[in-house]
Amino acid sequence: QVQLVESGGGSAQSGGSLRLSCISSGFTVSTYVMGWFRQVPGEEREGIAAIDSDGVTFYSDSVKGRFTISEDHAKNTLYLQMNDLRSEDTAMYYCAADTRKPHKSWSLVPGFFGYWGQGIQVTVSS
């Protein structure tokens, strides 16, 4: 019943911007911890941003200052605004959710999250 569907991916130039959306249904986004993760083939999945049920945000060092996670509670949708894109941002991006409120040390850990979208490709060209 919980469903997460990513949209807004595609191609961008280095220095450009994209906005990813995670359209959510079957639960209330504001009451879950929500996160964005990315994965390059052959590498481990990386947590890059999360927002908990109190609105507290967390970012990996690799995206801090460039990406912003937010929620539109009226639309029950999670967003990731991606600015100043770099070629190393190229990856499959996933949104995820969980009912629990993690300790901050778990907020960017993929294994904590129980619900996942199917992913969407982001490609950044130089």
Q: What is the pLDDT of residues 95-112, one digit of tens each?
A: 999 999 889 899 999 999
Amino acid 101: pLDDT? 87
Amino acid 104: pLDDT? 87
Q: With beta carbons less than 8 A apart as the criterion, state whether 114 and 102 touch.
A: no
Q: What is the pLDDT of residues 41-70, one digit of tens each?
A: 999 999 999 999 999 999 999 999 999 999
Nearest-CA neighbor of 10 among 100, 82, 110? Answer: 82
Q: What is the pLDDT of residues 13-30, one digit of tens each?
A: 999 999 999 999 999 999
